[in-house]
């Protein structure tokens, strides 16, 4: 019974502890505290000597943490109390003045915003790296023709570069979302106190400038209870992971024997434990699988926040683990996918062979008839019947004799045999189309967006 009570007591005491995961905020917590102390001295709220001792003590604590010999104490619960307690041990009574004009509510809010800013910058850089890999592969294979699909059925011919640039566009939207999230996160909550502001003449604008914030929060109650910027990140991260999951799915398909469009680099595929002939696209599959955990973090934080009254509630401690996991997962997946794409081998001959399926030229045949004066809807019906006829005879469209063509329309002439997969792509010379000229312009624009103009 005594052992049971002891175990229960240990569990209860550790239930609210967050130091095992929020210790990664140490640099941001210390940086914020240093600037806060300096501001207190500038405003005459504490003495210059006290501020100097505080800043020097905090610098020593940062060195201890980075050197791996900081005396972490779980009973102090979180990063803030561990740092403050150690500061007392190092400099004595002046440490007690650091928390003047500050609450843990606005302290953790500024730490999280500073950490989120770093994550968002890293995410933008990671997205750009994956975009560069896509552009590089597209540039190297800009003449390769492949099937484009709808409903997972071969539909029309496109250039491989055009297909890859579709993912560039998705990621460009992701990068824009991350940049917008950074803008909304980059306001200083420090100075809001527990919820109502503080009765000291703080210079919040000076602190904001010193810590690299664009401005200060407008409402103290909102500032300590706001986690919208984290929700923004989670939503943006979930969307970005969804895009990478779609890319992963295509790479899984393309690397299969049935497609054979690409081959993964050996370091990004693994062998089977029982079938020696197999190479599995494990990295792409894992990236696809990790998407769900990022979705889960978004839903978890939405659920935490949905029923909370103003202002701070301890439920909000649950914002961190999901955020750390989602950010770690996103950044790792961006890094992995950039490497997967940049090192994969494109099987151009196999792609072009698949693109030679003549039935993908059906729309081009309808457009051919339109060019001869037939209304498109009528042309669509003629070509549909022509395709069914070819299927019934076991022939491709290019193998059909002219008499068969003319049996469906007198408008067909010998030049119909000049319609080819490459010509089909070349014909789509509209902005955003797959024509080689348009793809060249799109590649140039992509490089410009990445700051890599030739």
| Residues assigned a catalytic role | 151, 272
Contacts of 340 (CB under 8 A, 6+ apart): 251, 264, 265, 268, 283, 284, 287
The CB-based long-range contact list for 302-309 (8 Å cut-off, 24+ gap) reads 302/231, 305/227, 305/231, 308/225
Query: Looking at the chain, how many residues does it have?
Result: 454
CB atoms within 10 A of CB 302: 13
DSSP strand pairing (262-263 vs 153-159): unpaired
DSSP H or E stretch at residue 215: strand 215-216
Contacts of 112 (CB under 8 A, 6+ apart): 25, 28, 230, 319, 320, 323
Task: Using alpha carbons only, give the angle 100, 101, 103 rounded to the nearest 5 degrees.
Answer: 95
Beta bridge partners of 148: 156
Tokens of 289: 């699988």
183 φ, ψ (degrees, to nearest 5): -60, -45
């Amino acid at each position: 019974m005594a052992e049971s009570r002891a175990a229960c007591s240990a569990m209860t005491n550790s239930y609210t502890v967050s130091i095992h995961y929020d210790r990664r905020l140490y640099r941001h917590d210390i940086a914020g505290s240093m600037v806060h102390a300096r501001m207190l001295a500038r405003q005459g709220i504490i003495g210059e000597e006290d501020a100097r001792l505080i800043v020097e003590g905090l610098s020593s604590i940062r060195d201890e943490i980075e050197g791996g010999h900081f005396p972490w104490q779980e009973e102090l619960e979180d990063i803030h109390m561990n740092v403050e307690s150690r500061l007392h041990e190092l400099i004595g009574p002046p440490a007690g003045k650091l928390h003047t004009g500050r609450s843990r509510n606005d302290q953790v809010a500024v730490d999280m915003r500073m950490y989120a800013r770093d994550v968002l910058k890293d995410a933008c850089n990671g997205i750009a790296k994956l975009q560069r890999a896509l552009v590089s592969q597209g540039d190297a294979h800009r003449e390769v023709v492949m099937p484009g699909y709808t409903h997972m059925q071969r539909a029309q011919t496109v250039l491989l570069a055009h297909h890859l640039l579709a993912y560039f566009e998705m990621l460009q939207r992701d990068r824009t979302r991350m940049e917008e999230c950074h803008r909304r996160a980059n306001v200083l909550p420090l100075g809001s106190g527990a919820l109502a502001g503080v009765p000291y003449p703080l210079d919040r604008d000076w602190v904001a400038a010193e810590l690299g914030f664009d401005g200060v929060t407008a409402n103290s109650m909102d500032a300590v209870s706001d986690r919208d910027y984290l929700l923004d990140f989670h939503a943006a991260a979930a969307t970005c992971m969804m895009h990478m999951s779609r890319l992963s799915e295509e790479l899984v398909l393309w690397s299969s024997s049935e497609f054979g469009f690409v081959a993964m680099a050996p370091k990004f595929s693994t062998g089977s434990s029982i079938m020696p002939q197999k190479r599995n696209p494990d990295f792409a599959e894992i990236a696809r699988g990790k998407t769900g955990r990022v979705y889960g973090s978004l839903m978890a934080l939405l659920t935490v926040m949905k029923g909370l009254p103003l202002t701070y509630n301890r439920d909000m401690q649950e914002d961190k683990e999901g955020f750390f996991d989602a950010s770690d997962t996103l950044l790792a997946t961006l890094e992995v996918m950039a490497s997967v794409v940049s090192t994969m081998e494109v099987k151009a001959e196999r792609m072009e062979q698949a693109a030679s399926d003549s039935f993908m030229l059906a729309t081009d045949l309808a457009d051919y008839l339109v060019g001869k004066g037939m209304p498109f809807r009528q042309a669509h019906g003629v070509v549909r019947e022509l395709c069914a006829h070819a299927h019934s005879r076991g022939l491709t469209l290019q193998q059909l004799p002219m008499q068969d063509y003319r049996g469906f329309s007198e408008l067909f002439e010998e030049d119909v045999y000049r319609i080819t997969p490459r010509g089909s792509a070349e014909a789509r010379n509209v902005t955003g189309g797959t024509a080689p000229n348009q793809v060249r312009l799109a590649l140039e624009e992509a490089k410009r967006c990445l700051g890599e103009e030739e």
